[in-house]
Amino acid sequence: MFRVLFFDSGLGGTSVFSAVRELNPNCSYYYLFDNECFPYGNKDEDFIIKRTDEILEESVKRFSVSLIVVACNTASTIALPKLRDRIKIPIVGVVPAIKPAAVKSKSKIIGLVATPGTIRRAYTNDLIEKFAKDCKVLKIGTTDLVRLCERKMAGKPVTLTEVADVFGPWLMLKPDERPDSIVLGCTHFPLVKDEIGALFPKAVLVDSGEAIGRRVRSLISLNQALSYEEINDGNHAFFTGDLVNHFGYENAFKRLGFKDLTKFSLK
């Protein structure tokens, strides 16, 4: 059996987890989020590289991991080369879905909403230059929306007005100047997909979940991920630091099919 480890700074990676599990139902899943250093979107690059390397190397030592999904756009666009050099199992990253958004756009006005770090990163600009050269790309960099997603996942209310505040620059535009294809460039953002859809009912919302699910399935089918006979203990979630609303998060993970939520400490 295969064990897939998901890693994110928070709960956003659960949106990718759901898509991956749907396409790969026979795997065992661990989910580890770095609550202690949440969010990553406002951290510098050297810190993110060092932090993700420390946590994932320790995770590989402790767990029988077949492959890793770095379910965080910020960490993926910064740390993947270093991680792949040091960790010798398959690592799948998540990057903004610029290409499919550009293909789906009829008006050739697309929107990218992501963390500030992802917005300004050269990797993101390269994707735009390569796949959306014929499009006008509107950008919003936000950590506020990340926090709203975490709050919603923990069972607390999030209002449409709060989400609308994030998208104020686009909502102020005339209808024909707004994006008709919106890239959810952080794995947290599908958690408020309904709210974003209500604000932009004519726009197609694009994320990377299904593509990551197909990539995991491909690695497994091509025997590029290790299988472990002893893996049969179900799905488990882990967090770093101190979790203030442990009960809310525990319930959220139980709804997703995880048995428990346990603290993960670096040695």
Q: In this structure, what token pair is assigned to residue 190?
A: 């599908």
- Give yes or no: 27 in active site: no
How far is Cα 93 from Cα 118, in angstroms, rounded to an integer? Answer: 14
What lies within 8 Å, CB to CB, of 111 at 6+ separation is: 137, 138, 139, 140, 170, 178, 179, 181, 182, 183, 203
Q: In this structure, what token pair is assigned to residue 56?
A: 């994932």
Q: Which helix (H) or strand (E) holds 31?
A: strand 28-33
Q: Is 241 left (phi over 0), alpha (psi -120 to 50) or beta?
A: left
CA-nearest of 207, 192, 239, 188 to 33 is: 239
- Give yes or no: 72 in active site: yes
One of 27, 135, 149, 186 is an active-site residue; which one?
A: 186
CA-nearest of 98, 123, 80 to 208 is: 98
One of 27, 72, 135, 149 is an active-site residue; which one?
A: 72
How far is Cα 84 from Cα 97, in angstroms, rounded to an integer? Answer: 21
Q: Which residues are catalytic?
A: 72, 186
